[in-house]
Amino acid sequence: MFADTLTVLRAHHEAGHAVVGHALGRCIESVALLSGEDGYGGYCRFSAYIEDANGHPEWNEKSANPDLITIYYAGMLSTASYCSFYLALDEEDDSVSYPEGSERDDLERIKEILSQMDIDQQQREAITDMCWTQAQTILSDYSMAVDKVAAMLAKRGSLTGHAAHRLIWQVVGYPDTDWRFVALGINKK
């Protein structure tokens, strides 16, 4: 393997956020792994400034956009998928296990977003179920892109948004048009 197990797990977590955000139309600013005292650290930042400047204010982190919940769930689901895949290959290998605590910040943000919505508990549950399913579907459809972004992230430690979008499009194919091409100066060649 190209990196230690914890690094690969963290890379899959952040790659999950990046790829699902990309699929939903977000503009990735950067993705990185960080060293933390608890062994977990990393982030996937989206560029609210570029998104807003290009007519996409719905991505404001303070908005109650359910797609933000989908993006937050994606990190957990991507990590769990990676763990289950490798555990299925070698049930005796206990080096690959879900890193406890890695989802704490994501669940806190989901809770914040839900609290901003003027809805009851039943509606919150319906939204979280829908977002969980949406994240699973996107991760399944884009699994090769998640693996590619995670591998590069584990190798380099960080990726610019430009690099992350290019990696994803190299795997899934470039669309004919996308506002992010111009915003990030991406050439399809």
pLDDT at res. 187: 85
Instruction: Decide which of 86 and 23 is more confident.
Output: 23
| Domains with residue ranges and CATH for the chain | 5-184 (1.20.58.760)
Phi, psi (degrees; rounded to nearest 5) at 46? -110, 150
pLDDT digits (tens, 9 = 90+) for 123-135: 999 999 999 999 9
* Residue 104's pLDDT band (cuts 50, 70, 90): confident
- How far from each other are the two terminal CA atoms of the chain, in whole angstroms? 30
DSSP string, 66-78: HHHHHHHHHHHHH
pLDDT at 16 over 60: yes
3 three-class SS: coil
pLDDT at 153 over 80: yes
Percent of the chain scoring above 70 in pLDDT: 85
Q: What is the dihedral of CA 10, 15, 20, 21, to 10 degrees?
A: 100
pLDDT at 73 over 90: yes
pLDDT at res. 64: 82
pLDDT at res. 1: 38
Spatial distance between the Cα atoms of 127 and 153, rounded to a whole number of angstroms: 31
Phi, psi (degrees; rounded to nearest 5) at 60? -55, 125
The region of weakest confidence among 14-28, 39-53, 124-138 is: 39-53
Residue recorded with tokens 């963290």? 10
Instruction: Decide which of 112 and 87 is more confident.
Output: 112
Residue (of 20, 38, 48) closest to 103 by Cα position? 38
Instruction: Decide which of 16 and 62 is more confident.
Output: 16
Q: Are 148 and 171 in contact (CB under 8 A)?
A: yes
Q: CA distances (Å), 12 to each of 17, 85, 155, 167, in order? A: 9, 12, 12, 14
pLDDT at res. 158: 96
pLDDT at 188 over 70: yes
